[in-house]
Amino acid sequence: MSPMRTLLVTLCVAVLAGCDSGTVFTHSDTGGESGSGTDGSYWPYSDGGLPNPDPAKKDSGACGGQSIPIQLVQKGDVPDLHLVVDRSGSMMTPIDFFNWALGTKWDVMRKTIIALVETYKVNIRFALTLFPSDNMCGPGKIDVPLQVGNTPTIKQKLQSIGPNGNTPTHTTLAAVRTYLKNVPPAKGSRYVLLATDGMPNCGTAAGDGDTGPETLAQVQQLAGEGVKTFVVGFGSVVAADPALLNQLATAGGVPNTGAQKFYPATNEKELQNALFNIAGGIIPPPCTYKLTSPPQDPEKVTVTFDGVPVPRTKSNKDGWNYSSGGTEITFFGSYCDKLRKGQVKTVKFLFGCKGPVIE
């Protein structure tokens, strides 16, 4: 699914003495089907960069036979992330005017947000506000309140509504501020993620009138109240006013590290990267994976990042090792950092195949 923070985790449990090439079973953190990636592709582990002991046996099916479900283990305090999402009329335009089959900006935004909340449903307490709340300039409301595990409700809301109306960003952020001041925060930090494709308006009854200064003031007030704001500019024109988006992102206290201080997203891939990098950056390190049962031979395990073997570190310094009595696998050092930064697309645990070991 390209380099966003969704990780496809593949497990190969050897039923024979070796671990010959063959079909593996895949668990996707975005709910992908067993045996396939989220993009519909298949992942025979012999194509994952590991040495193939006998190329003639490729895809022989000799390795495998049992799929062991795994999941990210929550470590530390859960943060709040209030999703404030523009659904104005311009979101009904195609994401790519040269390829309408890719869908509208709203189609892409909705799909990406659903994947996001499904991936981090136990790691982040989400809320959702769509704006406008009517088909003109109605300030966004609290469509889904802050709660862990509210993915079905967020999904239902996104699928039940389409784009229409103007862009009352300032009054929507004011409504979100009021809500957050009256809801006890989670133990982790609290954030707003503002995703918009258009200039803030609704400065007059007709819906026009620039409200950039008012929007900036709301972001500054959120920051003063301890709520940091990420800003994502979505669309080929990048919301028409990059200078304002940079101001908002800087005032929000969590600017992008690139040349643009907001997160620019001109296509689906960039939107995925932006949202997943933001979410991945606020949760405790997602470096531990729970196994429902330990491997038959704990010494015969190879772990890979995007097909490249990760060494087992018995000193827990840089690599992976067993934790919690062998029921979990934890990454340490630079490998944990890569996961946190969204630099890994696919993690594979190949049981029955011994990989590199360091002290």
Mean pLDDT per 10-residue interval, the chain, length 359 residues: 38 31 29 27 26 32 35 68 96 80 90 94 93 96 95 97 96 98 90 93 84 97 97 76 94 93 92 92 75 79 86 94 87 87 75 77
| Residue 292 pLDDT | 66
Cβ–Cβ < 8 Å for 313, 329: no
Strand ranges across the sheet with 312-313: 70-72, 288-291, 328-332, 319-323, 312-313, 357-358
319: left (phi over 0), alpha (psi -120 to 50) or beta: left
Specify the long-range contacts of residues 102-109, CB closer than 8 Å, at least 24 apart. Answer: 102/268, 104/163, 105/163, 105/197, 105/234, 105/235, 106/162, 106/163, 108/268, 108/271, 109/85, 109/195, 109/234, 109/271
The domain limits of the chain are 8-72+287-358, 80-282
**pTM exceeds 0.85, yes or no:** no
CA angle 328, 73, 77 (to 5 degrees): 140
Interatomic CA distance for residues 62 and 349, integer angstroms: 16
Nearest to 339 by CA among 262, 284, 258, 301: 284
- 80-282 has CATH 1.10.3430.10 classification: no
Contact 131, 207 (CB under 8 A): no
Q: Is 110 helix (H, G, I), strand (E, B) or coil?
A: helix
- pLDDT for the residue 322: 92
The string of DSSP letters for 324-342 reads GGGTEEEEEHHHHHHHHTT
Closest CA to 6 of 113, 107, 105: 113
Predicted local distance difference test score (pLDDT) of residue 169: 97
DSSP one-letter string for 299-321:
TSEEEEETTEEEPEETTSSSEEE
**Residue 96: in which H helix or E strand, if any?**
none
CB 231 within 8 Å of CB 274:
no
- The residue ranges of DSSP E strands in 47-170, in sequence order, are 70-72, 80-86, 125-131, 144-147
Q: What is the pLDDT of residue 29?
A: 34
Q: How far apart are CA 293 and CA 275, in angstroms?
A: 33
**Token pair in block for residue 107:** 């189609």
User: Within the chain, what is the greatest distance between any pair of CA atoms?
Assistant: 74
